[in-house]
Each structure stands twice: as C-alpha cells, then as structure tokens.
Amino acid sequence: MEKVNRRTTLKLMGLGAAFLAAGGRGLAQQAPTADQLVRGKDRRLLVLSQRPIVLETPYELLAANAERTPKEILYIRNNVDLPGYNTVEGANLEGWKVQVGGLVDKPFTFEAKELLSLPQHEVTMVLQCSGNGRTLYQPRPSGNPWKRGGVGNVTFRGVRLKDLLAAKGAKLLDKAYHITAHASRQGNAPEFVRSVPIHALENALLALSMNGEPLPAVHGGPVRLVFPGYFGVNHVKWVEKIEFTEGENTTTEQMPRYRVPAIPNTQLPFLPQEPGKTYPYTFQNSRPNWLVTLNSFIFAPLEGQTVRGPYVRVEGVAFNDGIVPIVSVELSTNGGRTWYKAELERTEKTFGWVRWRGTVYLRPGEHEVMARAWDAAGRSQPLDGNVAWNERGYEYSGVMRVRFTVS
C-alpha cells in the first residue's frame, strides 16, 4: 500500500515538474519529451518513465544507425537518477575520486583524472538492458515496457581496471570472487550496487569516453565501470567505489531483481517457468543477468513496410557475450520450415554486434521473415522466446519475426 502511494506521489511530482518546465501552458503540454528530460537527447525517444528516467530508442532509429548508436538516440535506463547529470555532454573529471578496496592487499583511492595518464584501451560493445524485449513475453511481466529498443552498440574508451591495479601495485587476495561496484548518489537516494564474477576483470574498463567523445554525463560520465559481454545493469555509471568481495552484494539490484530462475551447477541457461507463476528467488535458486544472451535483430525490412520484389534484401545484426564468435545467421520466410544463411560482416569474436545481410526471393503479397543466430559454442535462439518466460521479463532472446509486403 505504502509503495503504491509513494509511487503515485512521485509520478504526480514528475508531472508537476514537467508542467512548470512547459511554462504551465496547459494540460496538453504535461508529458515531457525525451529532450526535455535529458539535454541533447532526440525528442523521438520513447519516455517509459520520468522518475527514474527511462528512455527507449524507437526501433526505426536503431535500425537507421546500424554501425554504431549515437549518443543522441542511445536508450537510458536509470534505476536511481543522479540529479544534475541529465545531459549528453561530458561531466567534470576534476575532483571525481574512486575508492578501490575489499579483498586487495593495498586498498587505494584514485582521482579520475589520473586515468588520463595510463594506457587507453577501446572496446566496441553492445549495451543492452536485460529487460529489453520484455513486452514480447506473454503474459506481460512486471517492469518497464521495453519493446526492442533497450539496446545500442557503442565504443567505450578508457583504462583497464587490471592495468590500474598493476599501476598501483595492488594484488587481489584469496576469495576475491566478485567485483562489486557502487555508484555515487545524492542525498538519501537508494544505493546502486552490482556484483559480477571475478573473471569479468579480464576486460573490465573504466570508461571515460564513448563514441570518441567525453562519456555523456547521463551515461555515467565522468567515469563508468563497464564489463564487455555483460548485460546493461552491470555497467555501473558514476562509479565511486570498487570492491573485491567474496560474495555478491545483497542490495535489491542483485537479488531478487536482475536475476532469472536457474538450477545451481547445471549448464541450463535458465529454469523453465510456468508463465504467470511467481518464483521464490534466492541466491541459490537463481542467477544474475550477467553474460549477454545470444540474439539477433532484423533492421530491414521493417515491420509493416512495402518493399519491391522479387529479390528482397534482409539486413540486421547479431551478438552474444563475446566469448566465442557468431558463426551464422539464418533466415526463413516460411515460418521456420527451411532456412538459408545470411552473409556475416565478420566472423571473429567481438563484444560489439555483427552486421549480416541476405537476399530472399518472394512473390508479391504479405510475408514474414525470421532471423536466427548461432555461435561457436553451439548456442542459438529459441523459435518461441516465451520458453524463457520469467516473472520480471529478463533476457528475452526469441527469434525475431517481421511482417511486410512485397509489391
């Protein structure tokens, strides 16, 4: 009850602020657009929530920028807002300090600007909320109603966490099994903390820039800890404390949120659930949204388009956790009875998405195309994404289907 009241109050406060921002010009002006919530964002982004700020990239915009996702259209998912950081401009590096501690022999604090004098490393990677595609689950799970636009492909640049440790002469102690990162917060805002397994240290990057520009404040500037190959929730924006810990953190973002049901010590990626049923999440019977699930998206044709036939170009992207390469993307225009291979842009492993394209031969009329990716670990996507149904709607990876007309 109390929760509902608090939520309603926050919503009303949000509306009130928007009303004032619009100059009190009347009811029609009440809902703020993305560019009013975050300076420099494209006003076409979908506002899924105002407080905290959650903005989705419309699918056509994502598809129109298949190489890399520009900062103006990149989705935003705040669980906890950081007031004053609602802009795509960079944030001030001066005075920003980060503590490093826990299970290390020599804990230390460093200034973010010290990172500028260490070797810089660049990584292009998929940034994707684990709730992306949630609305495709039936029945609809709780949470922000993401379609497919809670994702982007971006290039981060910065200093590897392991290089920083080496530069400071700090070594991990026994039982440092997790990396636990804490975000800066203001006032009595809730904490935002996430833990990832220690192997994530291999590629962990303290990012200072994105797509060749200072890291946008709203995307975690001045410094964000990113773990290539991991889901969005693990890349802690505005990082101010990094600890090496034995166990996972116990705040709600680690448990019960951002987890899926799983059986410990099995290779099963998830424990199948009866859609609609709730689950008693514990650390033991579930696993966190860590490594990105193999997925592929069709960027052309788009749903509802009319295209010229009979040769129709189909294009899109595919990605996984970057541990092994994507080996093929297959297309089907007959509901999955037969498949043909699309051509991949590259076949080496990568944390970024790989573009693919193929040509299908279709007579005039209504059609549906499906795309399914495979990787070198033998992993693929379920034809029916609902097999992974879970009550919070995480890690959707079902084969995408697009309906269109051939003229």
Ligand X SMILES: Nc1nc2c(c(=O)[nH]1)N[C@H]1C(S)=C(S)[C@@H](COP(=O)(O)O)O[C@H]1N2
Q: Assess contact for 47 and 32: CB atoms under 8 A.
A: yes
Residue number, nearest CB to ligand X: 232
Work out which of 18, 183, 196, 242 binds ligand X, going by CB under 6 A.
Answer: 183
CA atoms of 394 and 77, how far apart (whole Å): 14
Between CA 259 and CA 257 the distance in angstroms is 6
Alpha helices per DSSP H over 159-287? 161-168
Binding piece for ligand X, criterion CB under 6 A, among 70-78, 118-126, 273-281, 366-374: 70-78
Q: Does the protein bind ligand X through residue 235 (CB under 6 A)?
A: yes
DSSP element (H, E) containing 18? helix 2-21
- Residues 115-154, one symbol each (x = binds ligand X by CB under 6 A, - = not), give ------------x-x-------------------------
Query: Residue 161's closest CA among 214, 113, 224?
Result: 224
Q: 45 and 130 in contact (C-beta within 8 Å)? A: no
- Judge whether 183 and 82 are in contact, CB under 8 Å: yes
Q: Does 179 bind ligand X (CB under 6 A)?
A: no
Report if residue 232 touches Mo ion, rule: CB under 5 A: yes
Q: Return the residue of 78, 295, 296, 350 that touches ligand X, per CB under 6 A.
A: 78
Helix, strand, or coil (residue 217): helix
77 lines the binding site for ligand X (CB under 6 A) = yes
Min CB(154)–ligand X separation in Å: 9
- Helix (H) / strand (E) element for 405: namely strand 400-406
Q: Is 244 in the site for ligand X (CB under 6 A)?
A: no
Cβ–Cβ under 8 Å, residues 346 and 317: no
143 binds Mo ion, rule: CB under 5 A: no
- If binding is defined by CB under 6 A, does position 355 make contact with ligand X? no
Cα–Cα distance for residue pair 330/355, rounded to 1 Å: 13
* From candidates 129, 165, 242, 318, binder to Mo ion by CB under 5 A: 129
Residue nearer to ligand X on the CB measure, 172 or 189: 189
CB of 268 to ligand X, least distance (A): 24
Count of all residues that appear for the chain in the document: 407
Of positions 46, 80, 136, 255, contacts ligand X by CB under 6 A:
80
Q: How many angstroms separate the CA atoms of 229 and 61, rounded?
A: 23
Q: Mask 46-85, x = binds Mo ion (CB under 5 A)?
A: -------------------------------x--------
Q: Which residues are at the interface with ligand X (CB under 6 A)? A: 74-80, 127, 129, 183, 192, 219-220, 232-233, 235-238
